[in-house]
């Protein structure tokens, strides 16, 4: 009820919403409405009670809050349930535990702080409290494991699109799924899955976004930043979280129609930082200090399976 209540108050803008209309809408007593309003106020929502007129939403706090996230989601969204944590070891770890216990597709876990945040290739993900977004969405796609990398690319597009809509900032995707703003990484994505040979049991899509952080550790500052540090603007994290999920929902439904990225390739390529620019391809031991072989070429975007197409002197090569 709280998420719907917030949605109604937000949509009413400067108008008051009468207690009576809320009672009728939810089929509950005035006291029940008042109790929910009080609980929202306790969470930091500023709701004015105007005598004989009703309730007005004056401001929303930047505190991660499940009803607030849900209140921004479209009705037919894959995500029906958000759970927020003050502190957790890792939202990916928790999502995998829930998946193993039979949790259906669509639950979203969001934390204010992680004590054991996981990055790709066994790295840690730095997880300062109170300023960033650490979120994981559980999905159970009816697809083969080989298609999962494509789904991670959808998540990258969702983050870039959401940041554009909510913060007005133009981010780019560094293939396959880092998000950069002013050439600095502000978001990383870690997808983990449980699968059989031809069948995905579940996948957890973990997304870490540096949002209002003004204190990126010195050793990371050269290559990493936050939305706040690059734009000077604070962002409502509930709204941004929900927008990422809304965008993902849209792209994911398109993906499932064809089991590939054919419907979103152009969109992805429009966000690709290296599009039509020179890139260095490292073969074999990619991303280690000692790559076996390297070659330069011009990035020509991804194909429908998410591989990066690079034009080299020997023709187009497909990098997976």
Binding site for ligand BTN (CB under 6 A): 90-92, 114, 117-120, 123, 125, 134-136, 188-190, 206-208
Report how far residue 190's alpha carbon sits from residue 204's, in angstroms, rounded to the nearest whole number: 8
Q: Which is nearer to ligand BTN, 166 or 189 (CB)?
A: 189
Residue 103 phi, psi dihedral angles, 5° rounding: -55, 130
Q: Which is nearer to ligand BTN, 115 or 258 (CB)?
A: 115
**Which residue lies nearest ligand BTN, judged by its C-beta?**
188
Question: To the nearest whole angstrom, how small is the minimum distance from the Cβ of residue 96 to ligand BTN?
Answer: 10
Q: Which is nearer to ligand BTN, 150 or 206 (CB)?
A: 206
Report how far residue 173's alpha carbon sits from residue 170's, in angstroms, rounded to the nearest whole number: 10
Question: To the nearest whole angstrom, how small is the minimum distance from the Cβ of residue 92 to ligand BTN?
Answer: 4
Question: To the nearest whole angstrom, how small is the minimum distance from the Cβ of residue 307 to ligand BTN?
Answer: 19
Question: To the nearest whole angstrom, how small is the minimum distance from the Cβ of residue 135 to ligand BTN?
Answer: 6
Name the token pair of 55.
């309730």
Residue-wise DSSP of the chain: -HHHHHHHHHHHTTS-B-HHHHHHHHT--HHHHHHHHHHHHHTT-EEEEETTTEEEEEE--SS--HHHHHHHS-TT-S--EEEEESSBS-HHHHHHHHHHTTPPTTEEEEES-BSS-B-GGG-B----TTTSEEEEEEE--SS-GGGHHHHHHHHHHHHHHHHHHHH----EEETTTEEEETTEEEEEEEEEEEE-SS-EEEEEEEEEE--S-----HHHHTTB--HHHHHS----HHHHHHHHHHHHHHHHHHHHHHTSSTTTHHHHHHHBTTTTSEEEEEESSTTSSS-SEEEEEEEEEE-TTSPEEEEETTEEEEE-
Q: Which is nearer to ligand BTN, 125 or 268 (CB)?
A: 125
Q: Which is nearer to ligand BTN, 80 or 120 (CB)?
A: 120
Q: Which is nearer to ligand BTN, 2 or 94 (CB)?
A: 94
Q: Which is nearer to ligand BTN, 71 or 114 (CB)?
A: 114
Question: To the nearest whole angstrom, how small is the minimum distance from the Cβ of residue 281 to ligand BTN?
Answer: 20
Question: To the nearest whole angstrom, how small is the minimum distance from the Cβ of residue 51 to ligand BTN?
Answer: 45
Q: Which is nearer to ligand BTN, 37 or 229 (CB)?
A: 229
Question: To the nearest whole angstrom, how small is the minimum distance from the Cβ of residue 114 to ligand BTN?
Answer: 6
Question: To the nearest whole angstrom, how small is the minimum distance from the Cβ of residue 240 to ligand BTN?
Answer: 14
């Amino acid at each position: 009820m709280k998420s719907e209540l917030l949605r109604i108050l937000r949509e009413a803008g400067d108008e008051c919403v009468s207690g009576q209309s809320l009672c009728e809408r939810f089929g509950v007593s005035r006291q029940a409405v008042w109790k929910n309003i009080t609980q929202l106020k306790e969470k930091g929502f500023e709701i004015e009670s105007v005598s004989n007129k009703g309730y007005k939403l004056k401001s929303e706090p930047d505190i991660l809050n499940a009803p607030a996230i849900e209140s921004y989601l479209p009705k037919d969204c894959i995500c029906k349930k958000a759970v927020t944590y003050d502190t957790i070891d890792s939202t990916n770890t928790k999502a995998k535990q829930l998946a193993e216990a039979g949790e259906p597709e669509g639950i979203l876990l969001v934390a204010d702080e992680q004590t054991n945040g996981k990055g790709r290739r066994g790295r840690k993900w730095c997880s300062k409290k109170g300023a960033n977004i650490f979120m994981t969405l559980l999905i159970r796609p009816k697809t083969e494991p080989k298609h999962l990398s494509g789904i991670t690319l959808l998540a990258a597009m969702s983050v870039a699109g959401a940041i554009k809509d909510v913060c007005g900032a133009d981010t780019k995707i560094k293939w396959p799924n880092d998000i950069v703003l002013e050439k600095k990484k502000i978001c990383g994505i870690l997808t983990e899955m449980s699968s059989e040979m031809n069948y995905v049991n579940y996948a957890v899509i973990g997304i870490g976004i540096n949002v209002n952080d003004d204190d990126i550790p010195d050793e990371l500052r050269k290559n990493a930043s936050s939305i706040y540090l690059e734009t000077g603007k604070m962002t409502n994290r509930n709204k941004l979280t929900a927008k990422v999920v809304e965008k993902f929902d849209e792209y994911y439904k398109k993906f499932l129609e064809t089991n590939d990225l054919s419907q979103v390739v152009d969109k992805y390529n429009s966000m690709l930082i290296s599009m039509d620019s020179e890139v260095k391809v490292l073969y074999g031991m990619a991303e280690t200090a000692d790559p076996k072989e390297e070659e330069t070429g011009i990035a020509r975007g991804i194909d429908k399976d998410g591989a990066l197409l690079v034009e080299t002197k020997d023709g187009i090569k497909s990098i997976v």
